[in-house]
Structure 1
Amino acid sequence: MKAMPGRIRIIGGNLRNSRLNVPDLPGLRPTSERVRETLFNWLAPTIAGVRALDLCAGTGALGIEALSRGAAAVQFVEPERAAAEALRGNLARLKAEGADVVAVDAMHFLHGAPRPFGLAFLDPPFALQLWTPLAQQLEQGGWLADAAQIYVESPRGQSLALPPNWVSHREGHAGDVRYALYRRSQSVPLS
């Protein structure tokens, strides 16, 4: 389930009911309101003050929702220049503080100097099949805080090879989309 290009709504926090302009770009698939509402209900006890990484940001709806609900800062990474410019425009219009947008490829970004984040959103374009390499680089590259939470959105039925110390916390389905929240453990769980 995805919102159609045009405008989408922030559903909670101090930016509640704000509208985001969404460019009409191939492969841009904003996370639905229903999924965002469920995710941020899960995150409610831990979102305040967290530093978040919105990797493959697209519209930035996940990161902006996090800012709206009390995240201290969000790093947005979006390689598509038109999407990055739309995101910058939305952030400026909303006067969202603590946001930084870089218009680079996610893997290129993750090969830079790491800064640990307490929350990461991993929702790459489905057609690119980037879950495994991005997850591995997040984990091995020093991008995640010790007890970080990682949100992963993927096609329903898609088999993902995620780091073994990412422990499934909660998951759901909406149409053809599977969404899941993982918690990073310092040890690999026994099977």
Structure 2
Amino acid sequence: MRVIAGTRKGHLLLAPRHRQVRPTSSRARTVLFDVLGQETRATRVLDLFAGAGGLGIEALSRGAAWVDFVESSRQHAQLIQKNLQKTHLDDHAAVLVEDAFAFLARRGEAHPPYDLVLADPPYDFDGYSRLLQALAAPALLAASGRLVLETSVRLRLPPAPSGLQLRSERRISETRLLFYQRE
């Protein structure tokens, strides 16, 4: 897995050696960031279900000011930390070893909202309705904030909850990217 563009273009990232983590393909990452365009510059980003950290590191390489990586696996969180050190981006990020729902529940209004949330749950994840509700919280996403959700094309998602509007959708092979915006 390599960083596709930006200041760290071409840097090789470490990836897990087992099938439980499915890093976002380079093609899907290219499409995702092409759709976002310049919207990642100087933003606060949340990389939820971060895996090896590829999406958040790509955002940092493309100019994001800060990324919070949330990953429940301690082993994967250590991999994210190594990737951040390898790309010299560790001073622009925090790696939190925590369940995504626990993080979303404890994160209150005392924290500044995110401009961009990147959520890539495992393909066998079955909590999309609950996840979308949690991500629609006003304190989480800035007024003009964007949410990008990565899923399998085979998955039927619930409708967007109040507070989020589905703006566009892209399909890349077996991957679907859904782009939401705060209403």
Residues in 2 aligned to 1:132 and 1:64: alpha-carbon distance in whole angstroms = 27
2:137–2:163 CA contact under 8 A, matched in 1: no
| Alignment partner of 1:120 out of 117, 131, 148 | 117
The CA deviation string for residues 67-119 of structure 1, in whole angstroms up to 9 with x for no partner, is 00000100000011111101101101211031100111101111113331010
Q: Unaligned 5+ residue runs, structure 2?
A: none
With the length of structure 1 as denominator, give the TM-score of the two structures: 0.88
Further displaced range: 22-31 or 95-104? 22-31
Q: Unaligned 5+ residue runs, structure 1?
A: 1-7, 186-191
Residues in 2 aligned to 1:141 and 1:169: alpha-carbon distance in whole angstroms = 18
With the length of structure 2 as denominator, give the TM-score of the two structures: 0.92
Equivalent position of 2:92 in the other structure: 98
2:167–2:179 CA contact under 8 A, matched in 1: yes
How many residue pairs align between the two structures?
178
Equivalent position of 1:171 in the other structure: 169
User: What SS does the aligned partner of 2:80 have?
Assistant: helix
Equivalent position of 1:49 in the other structure: 42
Further displaced range: 166-175 or 98-107? 166-175
Pairwise CA distance, 1:55: 0.5
| Alignment partner of 2:149 out of 137, 147, 152 | 152
Identity of aligned residues (%): 35
User: What SS does the aligned partner of 1:21 have?
Assistant: coil
Q: Considering only aligned residues, what root-mean-square deviation do their CA atoms show, in Å?
A: 1.4
Q: Which amino acid aligns with 2:170?
A: G
